[in-house]
């Protein structure tokens, strides 16, 4: 039961200057704020607003913050307080303070001082509330309340935080007052095992509240100070500086914040797993949270969200299940509505997060989720079944820029296990894919961790945060730190899925990215398509080609990749399935039971291939069979089949040939005898030579710009796991050339070789290193490039001017044809 402590008010003369001897544990004790009234409504108002950075409130308009220069001289104090907050009757403003954020421990004592003005006695109330995690003796079953779940659970981690102890104070005087609460002990005690106990007091946070508890009185508050006992001010003489800096993360989300200020609709995509969409054990029910109720902490509703039970009819249709409502992202939507005075139709919260899912397999669904192609559904995107996007979010579909995502939030990576320890590659690739298709999208990282060791990829996102200038909100550290002061199972039960209070803690960290105050710093635009961190990203960030079970590209339990990355689905008998690539055991998670294509859950994903080389997937299990496969095609790829006119040769003969693998590299085979060559000049950074292995195949030699790059035997069959040998398509890559024109020359040694074609790639991360030289030239004129290009540049000509490839060098070009203009492009 909640222990309510009332303390006598200490009313002090406001004019006496006294020294302060401690540090303020509150963030933003000066009530700094940013008013978006001028930007949204066109009014010349910046000196007042209805939200205060790092302080929460109920509805928009519950509080009004005003600069002290605009406050009534009869009500403001004689000393400087920066800003004052007016609180409407029956409303409050509060700050949530996790113990680790301020270095408090169980047994420590704190005190609170708040200055204010009230038009009636006992109208202004200040409080310090100790917040604990739920824990009571015994176990319970949802089925005892008529629900479908028959499992038995400890009686902890149910619902929201519990007020373990509350300390309140008011003042009998009318007018200016000071309220002090002293010697408040942070009580706490707990056990370490996975047993719930009523004697445990899992206190992990404080909450400071400033309220107007009257029916109609006017209340102002200023200069609050929470300090360790004995270190607070005896009297308030101004704002006590905070021990906790305010980090302006909002400057790293300039487009999203501006839209929120203006009141425009935004589309948020939530990436992640079951943890992000609020799946938990037991499920996140709506509980009775009234400690005075005889049904306290008993569930009130099973799974489907019921807006009337939380007094929010406006939310009907916008939340599918209770877990979406109680999740950290569901809480964020409500906070954005309150903080920026927006109706729910202005914030599309699109749950791509899914049970068992990870980014590697969910790359198959990026196009569908970013485009809102999937109708509203609880299981698919967190909305009520049967809705219509254009009705739910009409402004998104009427805006000129389209309804693509404005913000993508990355949460839990618990299931990634894609190419570990190279999980950063699919993560980075998903960002780059979205940046290519939706250049204005911003990103925000706030990864879940359970006791600091749940998954390795938060370190990957920290690296991406540095490279791409994406803000990283470190819930993982706070979530780990608080377990010093509680039974960790009361925060996150043994199954690893956080319950509602843990989601609230997670939301607390995430929401700080949206705290705004003046003076507004210059925005920091996130970097679009910078240099890649990991080489495997190239394979993951391309477009998808999907092949289903009836496609000739699926050879039973095997398939040849397009390039280097795949996502696949397969059927088998039993639960044992192994994956091999190129005959070697493939690193990664193989899942049975996902036999049909699902854009968020797959059987196996992999992306560690070397660009340009042949990659063969093989699944081994009883009656294993591929039912569908998504193959990534690297951006900037072009294929020159052996019949292409750009391939120069002396009229070499074609050979009749039939592929057993769906002709992944084309169907045209050109026989290159000993003593003959095939040559291609093309612009690229990488090449891949496609050929057919044959029992009597010779050795293929490849020169690039006169330098030997490959020498390949073409008589080597592929041996599958059953021992069968396949003379089939093959290819080898030539990597890491500077962008420009390169001449590839192929020849055969010993015996003829069978050429399928040549792939070219432009794998530059961006065009930042691209160099351009433009000018006018006449036929026969030689233009010298100083300094030289790294490779022969691509020369574009107009007006009859010509630049034959044979005349182009890294350091110069000699033109032919007629006088005209040119543009040289290279590095």
For residue 21, what pLDDT is reported? 38
First CA to last CA distance, the chain? 71
Among residues 496, 514, 532, the one where a domain terminates is 514
Q: Is the pLDDT of residue 5 over 50?
A: no
Q: Same structural domain for residues 338 and 398?
A: yes
pLDDT in tens, 477-487: 999 999 999 99
Average pLDDT over residues 813-818: 97
Helix (H, G, I), strand (E, B) or coil at 364: helix
Q: What's the rounded Cα separation, in Å, for the pair 369 and 403?
A: 11
Same domain, 434 and 489: yes
Residue 776 lies in a domain: yes
Average pLDDT value for residue range 797-821: 97
Report pLDDT digits (tens) over 642-665: 999 999 999 999 998 899 999 999
The kind and range of the H/E element at 427 are helix 424-437
Q: Taking a C-beta distance cutoff of 8 angstroms, is the pair 628, 596 a contact? A: yes
- 599 within a domain of the structure (yes/no): yes
Grade residue 707 by pLDDT with cuts at 50, 70 and 90.
Answer: very high
Closest CA to 689 of 613, 750, 608: 613
Per-residue pLDDT, 8: 35
366 within domain boundaries: yes
Quick one: which H or E segment has residue 479?
helix 475-481
Over residues 333-378, the pLDDT tens digits come to 999 999 999 999 999 999 999 999 999 999 999 999 999 999 999 9
Same domain, 190 and 299: no
Q: Is the pLDDT of residue 791 over 70?
A: yes
Q: 675, 744 in Cβ contact below 8 A?
A: no
Spatial separation of the C-alpha atoms in residues 205 and 810, rounded to whole Å: 65
Q: Are residues 31 and 85 in the same domain?
A: yes
CA distance 151 to 142: 7
Q: In sequence order, which residues have a C-beta less than 8 Å from that of residue 531 and are 6 or more positions away?
A: 467, 765, 766
**Are 510 and 382 members of one domain?**
yes
According to the model, what pLDDT value does residue 593 have? 85
Please give the pLDDT value at position 425: 96
What is the domain extent for residue 230? Answer: 3-246
> Residue 704: which pLDDT band, with cuts at 50, 70 and 90?
very high
Give the contacts of 323 (CB within 8 A, at least 6 positions apart).
277, 278, 279, 280, 283, 284, 303
The enclosing domain of 661 has a CATH number of 2.60.120.260
Query: Which residue stretches of 352-423 are H helix?
Result: 359-362, 366-370, 378-381, 389-392
Find the range with the poorest average confidence among 132-136, 393-397, 417-421, 553-557: 417-421
Using CA atoms, how far residue 431 sits from 94, 413, 541, 734, in Å, is: 36, 15, 8, 27
Cβ contacts of 633 within 8 Å, gap of 6 or more? 542, 543, 544, 545, 562, 563
Q: Give me the mean pLDDT over the 148-168 stretch.
A: 97
Count of other CB atoms within 10 angstroms of residue 601: 21
User: What Å distances lie between residue 209 and 26, 56, 57, 108, 292, CA to CA?
Assistant: 11, 10, 10, 19, 20
Tell me what the mean pLDDT of segment 291-307 comes to.
97
**Residue 457 predicted with pLDDT over 50:** yes
| Tally of domains in the chain | 5
Residue 376: which of 390, 361, 359 has the closest Cα? 390
E strand map for 46-200: 48-49, 56-57, 63-67, 83-87, 92-98, 109-118, 124-133, 135-140, 153-156, 162-169, 175-185
The runs of H, that is alpha helices, within 187-327 are 254-262, 322-326
Residues 285 and 193 in one domain: no
Per-residue pLDDT, 2 = 43
Q: CATH number of the domain that 550 lies in?
A: 2.60.120
Look at residues 755, 710, 749, 756 and name the one whose alpha carbon lies nearest to residue 733.
710
| Domain end position, chosen among 499, 514, 529 | 514
Strands (E), 439-557: 442-445, 543-548, 554-555
Q: What percent of the chain stands above pLDDT 90?
A: 94
Q: Does 536 fall in a domain?
A: no
Across the range 285-309, mean pLDDT stands at: 97
Confidence category of residue 1, pLDDT binned at 50, 70, 90: very low
Q: What predicted TM-score, i.e. pTM, was given to this entire model?
A: 0.95
Q: How far lies 294's CA from each of 290, 298, 334, in Å?
A: 9, 9, 29
Q: Given pLDDT bands bounded at 50, 70 and 90, which one contains residue 18? A: very low
Question: Is residue 187 over pLDDT 60?
Answer: yes
Same domain for 469 and 361? yes
Instruction: Based on the fold, state whether residues 448 and 403 are members of the same structural domain.
Output: yes
DSSP annotation of 43: -
Confidence of residue 417 (pLDDT cuts 50, 70, 90): confident
What angle in degrees, to the nearest 10, is found between the helix axes of 254-262 and 328-340? 50
How many alpha carbons lie under 13 Å from residue 459 in its C-beta half-sphere? 9
Residue 10, pLDDT above cutoff 90: no
pLDDT tens sequence across 135-148: 999 999 999 999 99
Give the tens place of pLDDT for each residue, 86-109: 999 999 999 999 999 999 999 999
| Percent of residues, the chain, with pLDDT higher than 70 | 97
User: For residue 415, what pLDDT is reported?
Assistant: 87
Tokens of 353: 């997060």
Q: What is the C-alpha separation between 498 and 502, in angstroms, rounded?
A: 5
Decide which of 736, 761, 786 is a domain's last residue.
761
Contact 429, 540 (CB under 8 A): yes
| Same domain (yes/no): 78, 223 | yes
What pLDDT is attached to residue 16? 34
Q: Same domain for 554 and 666?
A: no
Identify the CATH number of the domain in which residue 267 sits: 3.40.50.1110
Instruction: Determine, yes or no, domain membership for 524.
Output: no
| pLDDT of amino acid 412 | 85
List of long-range contacts for 29-32, beta carbons under 8 Å, 24+ apart: 29/223, 29/224, 29/225, 29/239, 29/240, 29/241, 29/242, 30/81, 30/82, 30/83, 30/223, 30/239, 31/55, 31/65, 31/82, 31/83, 31/84, 31/85, 31/222, 32/82, 32/83, 32/246, 32/517, 32/518
Token pair of 258 as six digits: 């501006």
Residues 250 and 162 sit within 8 Å (Cβ to Cβ) = no
Per the prediction, the chain carries an average pLDDT of: 95
Predicted pLDDT at 13:
32
Structure tokens belonging to residue 572: 């088998």
Q: Looking at the predicted structure, is the pLDDT value of residue 129 above 50? A: yes
Is the confidence at residue 284, as pLDDT, over 90? Answer: yes
- pLDDT (average), residues 187-216: 97
Radius of gyration of the chain (CA): 33
Q: Are 64 and 113 in a shared domain?
A: yes
In a domain, 530, yes or no: no
Q: What is the mean pLDDT of residues 38-67?
A: 97
pLDDT digits (tens, 9 = 90+) for 657-688: 899 999 999 999 999 999 999 999 999 999 99
E strand intervals along 14-57: 48-49, 56-57
In a domain, 646, yes or no: yes
Mean pLDDT along residues 738-760: 98
Report if residue 537 sits inside a domain: no
Residues 322 and 268 in one domain: yes
CA atoms within 13 A on the CB side of 652: 29
């Amino acid at each position: 039961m909640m222990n309510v402590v009332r303390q006598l008010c200490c009313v002090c003369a406001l004019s006496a200057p006294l020294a302060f001897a401690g540090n303020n544990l509150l963030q933003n004790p000066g009530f700094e704020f940013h008013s978006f009234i001028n930007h949204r409504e066109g009014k010349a108002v910046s000196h007042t607003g209805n939200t205060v950075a790092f302080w929460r409130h109920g509805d928009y308009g519950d509080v009004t913050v005003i600069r002290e220069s605009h406050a009534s001289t009869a009500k403001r104090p004689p000393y400087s307080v920066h800003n004052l907050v007016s609180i409407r009757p029956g409303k409050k403003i509060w700050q949530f303070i996790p113990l680790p954020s301020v270095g408090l421990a169980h047994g420590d004592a704190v005190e609170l001082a708040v200055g204010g003005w009230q038009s009636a006695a006992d109208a202004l109330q200040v409080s310090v509330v100790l917040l604990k995690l739920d824990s009571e003796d015994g176990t319970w079953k949802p089925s005892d309340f008529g629900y479908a779940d028959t499992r038995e659970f400890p009686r902890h981690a149910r619902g929201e935080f519990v007020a373990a102890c509350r300390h309140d104070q008011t003042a009998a005087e009318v007018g200016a007052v000071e309220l002090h609460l002293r010697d408040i002990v942070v009580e706490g005690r707990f056990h370490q095992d996975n047993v719930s106990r009523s004697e445990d007091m899992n206190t992990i946070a404080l909450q400071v509240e400033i309220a107007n508890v009257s029916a109609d009185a006017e209340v102002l508050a200023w200069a609050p100070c929470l300090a360790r006992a004995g270190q607070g001010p005896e009297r308030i003489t101004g704002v006590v500086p905070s021990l906790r800096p305010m980090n302006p993360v909002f400057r790293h989300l300039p487009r999203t914040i501006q839209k929120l200020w203006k009141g425009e609709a935004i589309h948020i995509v939530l990436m992640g797993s079951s943890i992000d969409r609020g799946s938990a054990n037991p499920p996140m029910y709506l509980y009775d949270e009234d400690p005075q109720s005889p049904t306290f902490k008993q569930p009130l509703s099973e799974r489907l969200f019921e807006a009337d039970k939380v007094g929010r009819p406006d939310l009907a249709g916008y939340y599918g299940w209770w877990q979406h409502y109680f999740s950290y992202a569901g809480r964020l939507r409500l906070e954005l509505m309150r903080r920026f005075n927006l109706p729910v139709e202005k914030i599309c919260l699109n749950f791509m997060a899914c049970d068992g899912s990870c980014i590697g397999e969910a790359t198959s669904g990026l196009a569908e989720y970013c485009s809102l192609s999937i109708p509203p559904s609880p299981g698919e995107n967190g909305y009520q079944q049967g809705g219509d996007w254009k009705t739910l979010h009409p402004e998104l579909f009427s805006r000129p820029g389209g309804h693509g995502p404005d913000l993508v939030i990355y949460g839990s990576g618990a299931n990634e296990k894609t190419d570990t320890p190279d999980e950063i590659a699919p993560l980075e690739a998903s960002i780059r894919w979205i940046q290519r298709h939706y250049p204005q999208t911003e990103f925000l990282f706030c990864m879940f961790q359970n006791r600091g060791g749940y998954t390795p990829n938060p370190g990957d996102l920290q690296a991406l945060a540095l490279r791409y200038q994406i803000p990283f909100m470190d819930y993982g550290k706070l979530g780990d730190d608080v377990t010093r002061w509680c039974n960790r199972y009361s925060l996150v039960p043994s199954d690893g899925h956080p319950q509602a209070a843990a989601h609230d803690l997670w939301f607390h960290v995430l929401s700080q990215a949206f705290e705004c105050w003046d003076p507004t710093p210059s925005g920091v635009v996130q970097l679009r398509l910078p240099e890649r961190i990991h080489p495997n990203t190239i394979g993951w960030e391309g477009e998808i080609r999907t092949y289903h079970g009836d496609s000739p590209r699926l050879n039973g339990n095997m398939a040849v990749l397009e390039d280097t990355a795949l996502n696949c689905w397969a059927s088998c008998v039993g639960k044992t399935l192994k994956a091999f690539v190129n005959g070697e055991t493939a690193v990664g998670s193989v899942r049975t039971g996902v036999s049909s294509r699902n854009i968020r859950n797959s059987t196996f994903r992999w992306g560690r291939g070397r660009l340009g080389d042949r990659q063969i997937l093989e699944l081994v299990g009883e009656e294993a069979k591929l039912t569908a496969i998504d193959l990534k095609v690297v951006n900037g790829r072009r294929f020159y089949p052996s019949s292409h006119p750009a391939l120069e040769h002396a009229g070499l003969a074609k050979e009749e040939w039939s592929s057993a693998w769906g002709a992944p590299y084309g169907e045209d085979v050109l026989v290159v005898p000993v003593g003959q060559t095939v040559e291609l000049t093309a612009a690229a950074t990488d090449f891949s030579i496609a050929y057919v292995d044959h029992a009597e195949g010779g050795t293929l030699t490849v020169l690039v710009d006169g330098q030997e790059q490959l020498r390949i035997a073409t008589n080597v069959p592929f041996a599958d796991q059953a021992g069968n040998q396949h003379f089939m398509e093959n290819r080898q890559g030539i990597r890491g050339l500077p962008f420009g024109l390169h001449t590839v020359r192929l020849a055969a040694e010993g015996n003829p070789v069978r050429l399928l074609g040549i792939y070219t790639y432009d794998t530059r991360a961006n065009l930042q290193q691209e160099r351009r030289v433009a000018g006018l030239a006449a036929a026969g004129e030689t233009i010298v490039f100083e300094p030289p290009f790294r490779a022969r540049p691509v020369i574009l000509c107009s007006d009859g001017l010509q630049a034959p490839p044979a005349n182009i060098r890294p350091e110069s070009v000699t033109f032919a044809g007629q006088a005209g203009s040119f543009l040289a492009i290279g590095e």
